[in-house]
């Protein structure tokens, strides 16, 4: 019997936590790589660079 069920199931979403309101939202890798563009918190509308985020959670 062979099985790959569950193998490498690591997810693919990158989550950012806003330092202003502690809300989480997910972003694309391309947006993070575009250093000139600011992230925009959909909860409180704070705009900030990745380095200013409270946390960035990437897939393992």
Partner 1 sequence: MRDLRSFLDAAGGAVFRPAQALSVVYEITALQHALEAQGQHPVVCVERALLADGRHSPIGVVCNLTASRELTARALGFSDHRSAARSFAEGLGRPIAPVVLGRGEAPVQQRVLQGDACDLGELPVLRQHTLDPGPYLTAAHVTTFDPDTGIDNTAIQRCWVKGPRSTSYYPYADSHNDINLRKFWARGQACPVALWIGHHPAVSIAAQAKLGYPESHWNAVGGIIGEPLRLAPSVTHADRILVPADAELVIEGFAPPGALAADGPFGEFTGYMGPQILAPSIEVTAITRRENALYHDYGSGLSDMLVPDNMAMEGKLFELLRGVAPSVANVHVPVSGRRFHAYIQLCRPAPEEPRAALAAALQYRRIKMALAVDEDVDIFSEGEMLWALATRVQWDRDTLTLAEMPCSLDPSWPAGARGIAKLGIDATLPVARRAGSPRPFAPRALAPEAALEGARRLLASADASRWPRA
Binding site for partner 1 (CB under 8 A): 8, 10-14, 25-28, 30-31, 34, 37-42, 45, 47, 59
Cα gap 36→52, rounded to integer Å: 13
Structure-block tokens of residue 48: 């900030």
18 and 41 Cβ atoms separated by less than 8 Å: yes
Minimum CB distance to partner 1, residue 43 (Å): 8
Minimum CB distance to partner 1, residue 35 (Å): 11
Minimum CB distance to partner 1, residue 54 (Å): 16
């Amino acid at each position: 019997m062979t099985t790959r069920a569950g193998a490498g199931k690591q997810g693919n979403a990158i989550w950012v936590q806003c330092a202003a309101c502690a809300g989480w939202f997910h972003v694309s890798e391309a947006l993070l790589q575009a250093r000139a563009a600011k992230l925009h918190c959909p909860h409180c509308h704070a705009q900030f660079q990745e380095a200013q985020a409270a946390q960035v959670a990437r897939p393992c």
